[in-house]
Chains A and B, each alone.
Chain A
Amino acid sequence: MHALQAAILSFCEWCNASFFGTGIRDSVWLFPFVEIFHLLALAILGGAVIILNLRLVGIGFRNDPPSALHRDLRPWMVGSLIVMLVSGFLLFSTEAVKMYGNWAFQLKMLFLLLAAVFTFTLHGRVTSRDDSPAGARWAVAVVSTILWLGVGLGGRAIGYVTTAATAATP
C-alpha cells in the first residue's frame, strides 16, 4: 500500500472515531439535520451556476451582462460551497472508512475537485468579462454543467453503492 493511501485511510479512521463522526452516527436526527443544510446549499450553488451558464449560452437572463451576474452571484456560490463542504465532511465522517472504498464517493471527490477549480479559474474568468467570445462561453458552460452534474450524480450513487455492498456482505 502506498504511503498516501495509508495516510488517507488513517485520516478516515480518525474521522470515524472523532466526536462528530460518532456523535452524528449515534444520533437519530443529526444526520438528516446536516443533510438539510447540504441540500439547501446545493440548491443555491446549483441555482447560481445554472443562472450563469444559461446567461453564457444566451438562453436566459439576457438583459444582464455576464459580469454583473457573476459579481452578484459569486458571494452566494462561495458561501454555499463552504456550507456544502462543511456539511458534506460531517456526513462523510460518520462512515469515513466505508467511503474510502466507495467508488461513487471517489468519483464524486474527483469531479468536485475539478468542478471547484474550474469554476473559480476558467469559468470565472470567462463569466466576469462581457467581451468573451461565444465559443469560450459555450465551452465553459458545457464543461461546468458536466463537472457539476458529475458531482451530483456521484453523490446520488454513494448511497446505492453502500446499500449494494452491505447487501453483498454475508
Chain B
Amino acid sequence: MSFDHFLHWLYDTPFSATMRESVWAEPLFETIHVLTLTVFLGFVLLLDLRMLDLAMRRKRISAMFEHMNPWLFGGFAVMIVTGLLLFSADPVAFYSTIFFKLKMIMLVLAGVNVLVFNKTLGRRMGEWDAAAATPVGVKVTGLLSLVLWVSIVAAGRGIAYALPPP
C-alpha cells in the first residue's frame, strides 16, 4: 500500500468521518493544541534562549532540563496526539499542502537536533554547565532549535490558510 493509498484509506475510515463531521472535534482539539503551546513551545523557546545566554542566565542548563523535562515530554505528547487527531479529519487535504510537508520535515530536524545534542554536548554537560557563558556548540543547538520551532509555528499557520475552505 503506497502512502497515497494509506491517506485515502484513512480518509475513508469511520473515525476520520467522525472527526470531519463532528461540530466539536475540530474546535476542541485545536484549542487543546494551541493552549498546550504554552507548556511545550513556551518551555522549548525559554530553553533555547537560555542556551543562547539570553534568558534565565542564573539558572544552570542542567537544572533547566531537570525541571522542564517532565513538562516538555507531557506537552509534546499532547501536541502529537491532538495534531494527529486534527490531521486524521482530512489527511488527504493536509498532505496536499506544502506547509504540512515542511512542518513534518522540520519536526524531524528538530528531533535530530535534540538527538545530536544529547549524544555530544549534552553528555558532557558537567564540563560546561557552570561556565559563565555557554559554549558555541550549545548556542548553535539553541539557535537551530529556535529557528526550527519558529518555522514550525509558521508552517502550522500556513496549513490552515492553504487548506481548501470547508
Contact = CB atoms under 8 A, between A and B. Distances in A.
B153 A60 contact: no
A43 interface: yes
B118 interface: no
Given A32-B161, A50-B38, A43 B58 contact: no
Most chain B CB atoms below 10 A, which of A28, A42, A54: A42
A88 interface: no
A45 B42 CA distance: 7
Contacts of A45: 38, 42
Interface of B: 27, 30-31, 34-35, 37-39, 41-43, 45-46, 49, 55-59, 63, 67, 70-71, 150, 153-154, 157-158, 160-161
Contacts of B158: 32
A28 B34 CA distance: 22
* Secondary structure class of chain B's binding surface, majority of residues: helix
A156 B30 contact: yes
Nearest to B50: A72
Contact of B46 (A39, A44, A153): A44
Contacts of B37: 39, 42-43, 46
Contacts of A46: 35, 37-39, 42
* Secondary structure class of chain A's binding surface, majority of residues: helix
A50 B153 contact: no
Given A32-B161, A152-B35, A156-B27, A44 B154 contact: no
B157 A32 contact: yes
Q: Top 9 closest A-B pairs, CB basis?
A: A47-B42, A46-B38, A43-B41, A43-B42, A72-B56, A32-B157, A156-B31, A43-B37, A61-B67
A52 to B, nearest CB: 12
